[in-house]
Structure 1
Amino acid sequence: MKLKKLTPEQKQFYRDNGFVQLKNLIPKKEFEELSLEYDRLFKRKNEAKTESSWVGSDDSNRQSDSPYSVKGIHNLQYHHSIFGKILYNENILDALEDIMETENIALHHTKAHYKPPEKGAAYPMHQDYPYFPYQNDSMVAAFIHLDAASPENGGLFVYPGSHKLGPQEDFGPKEGSNFHYVDQKKFPLSGATPVIAEAGDVVIFSYLLIHGSTPNNSTRPRRMLLIQYADAHDKPNAGERGQPGRGLILRGVCLDRDATVANRHQIA
């Protein structure tokens, strides 16, 4: 099913709130294959004990015996072709063009988070900005729900409009954590808005949007696949940690890179 361009109402909703929830972007057959290979990948990683995890604490080392966890895998496109195929989903890229207001879209990275039933950890309210700041703040995420999500099984919560506040003080490192999060007293989870989603829904949000999630105390898993994109001509700030595949052009061109390559040939 081909998505038409976003409606003026959807584009305005994103501008006002910093996120928009979209349906029917991924064909059924492709979605089923994504779900299947996602489970197979996590099974392999669990057996090899090579997946990373967040245990729902400010200090994951100190609380490594916590019964709560979130399993994570980065750069899924290096594990199976279906995760590379989803990067070029025309419906998602069409929506991104409207939201990012550019035809030139580059990949930053992909990751998957799996919240197991009855012991999936919460994520504190945070911005993605501190992990990979860009000069023009063009970065957005496509949060693909592989399961229906609600507060009961650890669904996404957001502070609508918080992207307009710009980067917020990063409390993670100052409190000795390896993770980044905002002031939890100023932005408590209890004050955030839940995003109720069906399997297949895609939520696109700014990396400045303050967001987090509840623990999964239900009998259902909460599986998600997240892809982060930036304007191909936006540049990471100095010190931004790169990811394998960062800068892959998914739509349009990167003229700066063309110039760089041309200059290298001239020098050679």
Structure 2
Amino acid sequence: MTQLSPESQLSSEYYTQAHFHTHGFCVLPSWLNASALLDIRTVAMSELEHAKKPWELEAEVGYPFAPKNLLATGGDTPRRLLQAYSRSPVFQRFAQDVRIKRLMQQLLPAQQVMMAQTHHNCIMTKLPQFSSDTDWHQDYRYWSFSSPNLITAWLALGDENAENGGLRVIPGSHRLALNAEQFDEKKFFKTETPENKKLLSNAINITLKPGDLLCFHANLLHAATRNNTSKPKVALVFSYHDATNLATPNTRSSSRPSIKLP
């Protein structure tokens, strides 16, 4: 299986470590070759076709445009299939790949890289007709670690863009000292205050091709619309941290031990 090295992927100006640390994200194009991508996509689509728990359904999150309840039309539409790592050896090989480890060692930086089982670790979907909008938020506001220095690796299994619910981000927002008053009771970033509106005016759309890898910081503000196309949008998503960045005891983040990358 021929794949590109992380060193070559980080060589251009847009995809350097400096870009990640300044803007809070980077995109590594063609992270997987066609054969490796097909292997992962085949398993992911089979998992969706024969969906089984644990999952998170659109109706359960109650986001804008989601089905109103589980009994409504589309009420069984998955938002994400959880515990992807445990679902297939194909996903395990990707999550623990030496290139992922080297990449995270560069971006975190870290000596020993851990994969969080409790956050992301999923097949993320935006399915036609019944997907929802995801309002602006920081992932770390829902996580409990000693430091917010975690990175999500988002592998696009198909095209991702503004039309089908691709991510929007606020570059550099991971470095801002945002206060609790800028978020609502559900920890979403308020969109109507003048201070927040000014920041949101800097939003950009992330466009991905199949096999592209998006990495972003846990404090990066991001959002996404529902899928307005007739085709599913699917990604494989894992989150990583340094071994010294410990989950807070007796929280959701500590409910499953992180996995050490070999």
TM-score range, shorter-chain basis?
A: 0.7 to 0.9
Q: Which residue of 1 aligns with 2:244?
A: 233
Q: Is the 8 A contact 1:34 1:82 kept in 2?
A: yes
Q: Does 1:20 align with 2:26?
A: yes
Q: Is the 8 A contact 1:171 1:181 kept in 2?
A: yes
Match of 2:55 among 43, 46, 51: 51
Q: Judging changes above 3 Å, is the alpha-carbon distance between structure 1 residues 58 and 120 closer, same or farther for their aligned structure 2 residues?
A: closer
Q: Deviations over 1:165-217 (max 9, x none)?
A: 14653745x2xx5xx42223326877521001101111100000000111111
Q: Which residue of 2 aligns with 1:77?
A: 85
Q: Does 1:102 align with 2:110?
A: yes
Counterpart CA distance in 2 for 1:203 and 1:124 is 19
User: Which sections of structure 1, spanning at least 5 residues, go unmatched?
Assistant: 252-268
Match of 2:188 among 181, 200, 205: 181
Match of 2:214 among 187, 203, 212: 203
Runs of 4+ in 1 over 6 A off after TM superposition: 59-62
Counterpart CA distance in 1 for 2:172 and 2:137 is 14
User: Which sections of structure 2, spanning at least 5 residues, go unmatched?
Assistant: none
Counterpart CA distance in 1 for 2:124 and 2:22 is 27
One-letter amino acid matched to 1:63: K
In the superposition, the TM-score normalised over structure 2's length comes to: 0.82
Q: Judging changes above 3 Å, is the alpha-carbon distance between structure 1 residues 49 and 93 closer, same or farther for their aligned structure 2 residues?
A: closer
Q: Quote the sequence identity (%).
A: 19
Q: Which residue of 2 aligns with 1:256?
A: none
Q: Which residue of 2 aligns with 1:153?
A: 164
Q: Does 1:42 align with 2:48?
A: yes
Counterpart CA distance in 1 for 2:189 and 2:259 is 30
Counterpart CA distance in 2 for 1:212 and 1:229 is 20
Counterpart CA distance in 2 for 1:184 and 1:54 is 22
How far apart are residue 238 of structure 1 and its match?
4.3
In the superposition, the TM-score normalised over structure 1's length comes to: 0.80
Larger Rg: 1
How far apart are residue 136 of structure 1 and its match?
2.3
Count of aligned pairs: 244
Q: Is the 8 A contact 1:75 1:244 kept in 2?
A: no
Q: Which residue of 2 aligns with 1:266?
A: none
Q: Judging changes above 3 Å, is the alpha-carbon distance between structure 1 residues 163 and 16 closer, same or farther for their aligned structure 2 residues?
A: same
How far apart are residue 243 of structure 1 and its match?
6.5
Q: Is the 8 A contact 2:66 2:132 kept in 1?
A: no
Q: Judging changes above 3 Å, is the alpha-carbon distance between structure 1 residues 194 and 136 closer, same or farther for their aligned structure 2 residues?
A: same
Q: Is the 8 A contact 1:157 1:189 kept in 2?
A: no
